[in-house]
Chains A and B, each alone.
Chain A
């Protein structure tokens, strides 16, 4: 069965500091990986996705993530945090072996300290 682990349910960074949100997955076949962001009282919005090809993926709002097969990881980073980055972030995974389902992590709440 698929699983997604997001280490750290809460992460705080200072404005201008590096943002690093961790995601590890379990999959016996090549995965498709996603990061979503959720602002308060809103639905989820896609930040970036990895399907095939280049393992470093760039997304919206300056975020990027790197697929590392050897570490089964897909960590999300941003070089310099902005106050507007404060939100909940979800990692999700799917692959052809899971049929037609997406699996989400439990989320990481990012706080940006001025």
Chain B
């Protein structure tokens, strides 16, 4: 199993450009999520999905879009990049959503994408 993969590892964008961060998992996990990590702020949830065709907003969704057309893939789109979106982005997946009986499953994290917006 490759686990959770993210591409690219590094990206530099100019203000106003758009791009898509790719995330894929091969564990047949229903729950997938995107976080951003900023110094002193921990991880903050951007968007999440509890299954194909179902997405919802997290704590900091503005400026980002997601879709979930398959169980495996969960891309994150930056519509018009801003310097405030400079961050490290992590994708994660879990075999069980937090809201289900029995509690959430462990989250498996990808290696991250370091994004700089100038």
Contact = CB atoms under 8 A, between A and B. Distances in A.
Bound pair (A, B): yes
A101 B45 contact: yes
Given A43-B90, A51-B103, A99 B98 contact: yes
Interface string B39-60: 0111111001010000010110
Interface residues of A, number: 29
Interface string B77-118: 000000000000010100001110011101101111000000
B98 A90 contact: no
Q: For the side of the interface on B, what is the size category?
A: 20 to 34
Contacts of A72: none
Given A94-B98, A100-B98, A101-B58, 19 more contacts: A43-B109, A44-B90, A44-B107, A45-B109, A46-B106, A51-B102, A90-B43, A92-B43, A94-B103, A94-B104, A95-B98, A98-B98, A98-B99, A99-B56, A99-B98, A100-B31, A100-B99, A104-B44, A105-B42
